[in-house]
Chain A
């Protein structure tokens, strides 16, 4: 307590602005659940930022071809393993707007490597909304306009080029299309299976519960990667990249559902004894309706949070499979496929930029983890 000059007493304890947010008022109790969740989630800064970032990434996916200056498999045979090029703005004290210095490759006969020398006398300005390699916007609108691309007579390798002279930056954007959606498809499969089997086991109990429970236990006790490997090795090699992509994401999902199913089952076991379930049953609701309308909404938000937390495992799984050559295969572009090139130490040491795809992987996985944590913490708005 501090006595102010005017004779009032003021509490010294630091004021926590969170308290007023967490304090529930009468009208808060009537507010829809999602409003309360959102209010609490907003205070979780890291989760909020991650969520916005991920939203941005996913919204960008359809436009990957537009943002990328090169095509996914466009080769520049004159510029193999070109180092990253900087975009400059000022040339000899004069502001020119974004431009690059053209680079030329020279063979170094001592180390047998290409040496790239920028020609710093002739700045070449970047072109915007120019024509380049063909791609399809959002997967179905064919287009060849790019946001920016390399001017004539120069190259634009923002993050260098790989062993076939393909632009790493462009390929990361294209790779995001597959690498980021693999997790979503996989999680949908796992979500579907997990909720279906978990709710059947928990709601009906008895023998079917026993069987499902054993399956869950067995699948959970097995190491995922060797099984993933075995399953993807079974994918026929003559399938197209799209089919392989779908089957790989389904494989990732098939082995992921037991964890979810177990959570659903445990919840159902306790919830099915509640009065409102009894009431619904008395009124003649079918089991399917009771499960969907009365039981699932109770903890859907929890399921979504745990799903968010298992997406990273799938993204990492796809990366690992492709890295080992058993996942997606060229010409498909994913971050794992790109890293396949960076498999040995020599290439990382000499051409470190071929390992750049690991940066988006780490960032995306971190973002999903933060988002999931934030969601999980804010899901129970009635909890103080």
Chain B
């Protein structure tokens, strides 16, 4: 982007002598100085990206370093992913819905229902008989109807996923841990189909639909658990979702695949674009970015490979499982949004619904699929939450769960008005949210109440940055 406003470049009547306009930027190689200039340009035209949230993270980090010297200890940092993963996962799902300018307030409690049912299935060995009868048969029939509904709304993948959930529940495969957790995600997808249908087809505002269901699912969780929390912490794999670590070897494999994949992809893109005569990043720029990522990843892995446990009888090393899960999901979401037609259409629908409709995009389909994904992520997020709590509690997914996730997405830079946001935002935002209680609890003399006050202030600041940048981008 040129630093001067486009009008001056585009001043009509300027005759061919002025070649500045004719795609002059399109054949240029994006060298490091140009990339920096572009970045500053984006900041000035109101597209700050991840900068505010990263700055917020740094500021909070600096403050908490003063609060306690334990804050930067490897043990404490290693605990952060486990504490925040559920917020990040739910927020990743919310990004899809927020990109459309809609909201899903029910993702938390809907996830609670899904995770609660899965917990009962796994812990008690069967669903039929362990769930209240009415609820069990509602679940079976509901899954069948949701699969049909999703197919009717042309959400084929969603329909298949829900059908898988139906099979898992009916065949009682939910007694095993992995199928049980998969079933939770499928139940989430079914609930998402209902949200999508009510919002996109019936036309009820998403705020109202999901507010109503937020309340309703809360009650259903309590029915399902029959007033008795399920101690899922005793199920090894479920427990490990939060508290497990990859072995040192697998940590290195994970990091190498991640960094290697990124390097290979960016290099390949740059070289191909150069050959095709398109605008591309200079080799130096690609290597600089890749190099920074590699160094950070390698340093983190080295630090994580040492025993960080406080108890000398129990070794804690390797990358935490929740971190690996969140990073993997983030990469998948990013690819889905930036590299596929579905993602492009989602951004377009959020940016200008009418334009999307005129371009032949099935807007109803986009909304339904976004809600399905959101609730499916919600279900898995609450599985992570119950793993963190070591229990499928009676208020699973209720309370602040969803609000923290919305806050995470917004702090990260996702717009509530649709069209702007990235999966990365959700993860950085979740880190900001979770670092606040983490840092404050290291100093017991500070009252826990501060946690909510500070989280609130941070959210307000993020919303202010969003509003100001929207204003600026309108002017620009």
A binds B: no
Residues of B within 8 A of A (CB): none
